[in-house]
Each structure stands twice: as C-alpha cells, then as structure tokens.
A = this chain, B = another copy of it.
Amino acid sequence: MAEHVLYCMAQSGHSYKAALMLELCGADWEPKWVDFFGGETRTDTFRKTVNEMGEVPVLVHGSRSLSQSGVILDYLTDVFGKFGGADDDERREILRWTIFDNQKVSGVAGPLRYMRTLVKTGENDVTKFLDGRLKGALAILEKHFESHAFAIGDKPTTADFSLCGYLYVRDEIGTDFAPYPNVIAWLERIKALPGWKHPYDLMPGHPMPDAR
C-alpha cells in the first residue's frame, strides 16, 4: 500500500484538489475509488468507518484519517513543506480563499456540473440560480487575478489547488468562461506547474459506465 491513500473518484473536484497536491509534492500515494454514483457515500458503513460527513475526499496517512479537502491540503503543507504559507498571516490568507472556494466556487460549480452533465436535469430554476452564483464568484476571481499571479500573490499555494477543483472540467459546468480571461490565464499557470495532471488522469472512475 502507498504511504498516502486518497478515497476519491474522477468526477469529484474536491478530491482533485487533494490528488493534485499529492502529485505536485511527489507523494507516494494511491487513489481508492469510491462508488459515489452507486450510493457508497450514503451508506451507514461509509459514514461509520470512513467519513460521517458522507463525502470524499478522505486521506488516510498512517493512523490519521482526514476529511474536507481544505483540511487535507493544510495537513499536506505540513507533511511536505510545500505550497503553504510562510507565516500565520499567509496561512490565514490561504484559508480565506479556501473557504471562499468551498462556499462559492467549488461548492456551487460542483452541484451545477452534477445537474447539467452527470444527471442531465436540463436547464431549470436551480441551474439558473447556481449559474448566477458561480458567475458572481468568478467575477471576484477575475478582478483578483488582474493583479495577482496566484491566489495569495506570486507563488502557487493550496489556495489555488482548492479554487481550481472543478475548473479544468469547465465544459461540463456549462457556464460561459469567456468573460473571465484572467481566470483562464491563472488556470494555465497552474497547468504549467511540473507534474500537473487533469483530474481524469489522476483519479479512477472516468469515463463513467453507460448505465447503472
């Protein structure tokens, strides 16, 4: 078994954040596929033995089992001494963008992509609501990246890996990114980091089976 085991699946942008960090740190890690679409995260067994919050990712490292991508990212900055803040002020600035991401970027893009591309609900009032919320958050990022190469300045940190969780499957989110060229340029800068991989090349479960 690898030193780090990540419960995850290819379609989970939250999992991607942790998988990307592990990969960019050169960690000895392996993914453990979770059958989210088959209901695994909703089972009593999963909630009792893996994560009471019923979510991926979960990182198992030694005797520790950690959930919430933001917590896993924070933990891995300690383990590897990379992509973290230089002091408490920088650590909090990373946390600020990480929480913003969970609530307003990934936390909205995830359900929107799920509805539009995975369960194919078609356009409705809920997709419209989520699309509007996502555009509000993207406008804030667009403004921020006018004067910042990365989330907290001129170097990549886990805040970037958090924010980009769903943004390499933009076509599946279905929101028009043309008005956000600074966001696209920032995503290209992350993509240029040595070792970067697309979520579907890092985690198992893609393509999805045709029928369930």
Contacts and interface: CB of A to CB of B under 8 A. Distances in A.
A92 B75 contact: yes
A210 interface: no
Interface stretch (A32-40, A93-101, A184-192): A93-101
A71 B125 CA distance: 33
Interface residues of A, number: 32
A129 B124 CA distance: 11
Contacts of A67: 96
Nearest to A133: B111
Interface string A53-85: 110000000001011101100110010000000
The 5 closest A-B pairs by CB, nearest first: A125-B125, A103-B107, A102-B103, A68-B96, A126-B129
Interface of A: 47, 52-54, 64, 66-68, 70-71, 74-75, 78, 88-89, 92, 95-96, 98-100, 102-104, 107, 124-126, 129, 140, 143-144
